[in-house]
Chains A and B, each alone.
Chain A
Amino acid sequence: MYSACKLNKQGDNIQPWQFGDTTTSLAANPDATTISIEDPGETPKHRAGPPRSLGREEDDELLGNDDSDKTELLAGQKKSSPFWTFEYYQTFFDVDTYQVFDRIKGSLLPIPGKNFVRLYIRSNPDLYGPFWICATLVFAIAISGNLSNFLIHLGEKTYHYVPEFRKVSIAATIIYAYAWLVPLALWGFLVWRNSKVMSIVSYSFLEIVCVYGYSLFIYIPTAILWIIPQKAVRWVLVMIALGVSGSVLAMTFWPAVREDNRRIALATIVTIVLLHMLLSVGCLAYFFDAPEMDHLLTSTAAPNQTVVAAKSS
């Protein structure tokens, strides 16, 4: 949409802003100079280029057209406060509600070919999502683990319910360490590889933290569904969650390592997915008791004890 205002020859504004129809006003006053301001939200559709292969198109998306260059410049202009002022940290929370919802949706529905960072985060990594998703996940795992243990041991006489509050601190340590240290290591690794093999795509540390934070969102409903005390159900949930969030991570980081040695690239992606799986399996094993085995153990222990008591008396 173009908006224009009419100026007379001295440059004074003689008419208010008129939206839309510039042709009639130009026709009415052909001597007027017009200033037109293009709506920055539009992507210019007149770009033509040589036919490209599918992979390179993705790179162009990542490198950006003018649009993303503009937004990157603007993003660079935003963060200008020194790091000891409050305003510096406010730039990391500059998101609206609908933006956070969009990013969560993007992490739940990984579409092949659409890069999460490029699509949702490029201009504006935020710390709100990662921090509060991790906090929710900590409490979801601790509370679901507690509930599931309570339900599993419900009928037993020897079981006394305890809220197991220690596990909240352990869960918090694990989840926050994963959400911050693994991105740090990955960022350091990518920077090191970038210095050896020039890659077109590079991510900043905050963008990596952002991707990891939002990719953990799928584990919140997974943790709640882990209350169901069936081993098969739990492992199916592990696989689904790993598939979704692993593919988000893999599709995000594949363009960054693609230029590199084939083996190193594959090893990086495999390590990312493996660490993710380690997190989910570790949480399942530590916070949730195994469902059927405990029942079997106590029911086989009881007759043994009665037999021993009978023998000794």
Chain B
Amino acid sequence: MFLLSQQRPLELKIFFPNSSQFAGLSDISIPQDIPVEGEITIPVRSRIREFDSSTLNESVQNTIMRDLKAVGKKFMHVLYPRKSNTLLRDWDLWGPLILCVTLALMLQRGSVDSEKDGGPQFAEVFVIVWFGAVTITLNSKLLGGNISFFQSLCVLGYCILPLTMAMLVCRLVLLAEPGPINFMVRLFVVIIMFAWSIVASTAFLADSQPPNRKALAVYPVFLFYFVISWMILTFTPQ
């Protein structure tokens, strides 16, 4: 019936009753039969198929740009945290993945010397970020929060953005001469970005908790970003 074609040509005939029966239409004179031709699109199934086929047919560049724009929009929301629902409503995990991989790659060292190399490996950073985010999400759900699992993962992942920027700045600063001033600059940058992450994530997450447990839900977020900041601050290149 509606299988192949989404749009059917339709012939519709409208019959108008005598105009005297309707007071408001009394000054309109309409002939008896008006053939109306048009096309009807059937709502439920064919709309989905229409959407699918239109995104299937579009170019790869369009698809990628659409997702990248969504990710970029959320980055802006993190950098200028306002009370808005965008991060929560249209959650996606691309942004957290990009940020986590970037951060883990930047925390790598040049050489593969495992005895002297005491820093976190790629897998360790990855595990800390993702398992940390999962644990915090489970914690906030167990405390009675009404945020969904993936929304919370999305928010926590996106709020790593300030710390990733701090990592970039630290790597640039480390190209200069090492010394106490170098360290103070890095410390200052990391502290500012850490505070920014906490403020951004609290702005999104705090409302979803019952009011007498907000501190209990926010403390693990603090611990999570503190550990990531520590990893960034103690990064020393070979």
Contacts and interface: CB of A to CB of B under 8 A. Distances in A.
B124 A165 contact: yes
11 contacts: A92-B142, A93-B142, A93-B143, A96-B213, A97-B213, A100-B216, A128-B142, A143-B230, A162-B117, A162-B118, A164-B118
B119 A163 contact: yes
Interface string B219-235: 11001001100110011
A139 interface: yes
Contacts of A235: none
Contact of B144 (A90, A132, A139, A161): A90
B120 interface: yes
B234 A163 contact: yes
Given A128-B139, A128-B143, A163-B231, A96 B212 contact: yes
Contacts of A132: 139, 219-220, 223
A95 to B, nearest CB: 7
Q: What interface size band does chain B fall in?
A: 20 to 34
A146 B234 contact: yes
Nearest to A90: B142
A163 B212 contact: no
Contacts of B214: 97
Interface residues of A, number: 24
A160 B219 CA distance: 33
A135 interface: yes
Q: Which of A90, A92, A96, A146 gathers most chain B CB within 10 Å?
A: A96
B215 interface: yes
A162 B213 CA distance: 38
Contact of A139 (B124, B139, B223, B235): B223
A136 interface: yes
B118 A165 contact: yes
A128 B216 contact: yes
Interface string A78-110: 000000001001101101111010000000000
A7 to B, nearest CB: 35
Contact of A97 (B215, B223, B226): B215
A10 to B, nearest CB: 41
A100 B212 CA distance: 11
Contacts of B216: 95-97, 100, 128
Interface of A: 86, 89-90, 92-93, 95-98, 100, 128, 132, 135-136, 139, 143, 146, 160-166
Contacts of A100: 216
A176 to B, nearest CB: 13
Nearest to A92: B142
A97 B212 CA distance: 6
Q: Which of B124, B223, B231, B234 gathers most chain A CB within 10 Å?
A: B234
Given A97-B213, A163-B234, A139 B117 contact: no
Contact of A166 (B118, B142, B230, B234): B118
Contact of A162 (B119, B124, B226, B231): B119
B116 interface: yes
Interface in B116-148: 116-121, 124, 139, 141-144
A259 B63 CA distance: 74
A127 to B, nearest CB: 8
A163 B235 CA distance: 8
Contacts of A86: 141
B120 A163 contact: yes
Contact of B236 (A92, A93, A95, A161): A161
Contacts of B234: 146, 161, 163
A163 B223 contact: no
A225 to B, nearest CB: 18
A269 B219 CA distance: 34
Nearest to B142: A93
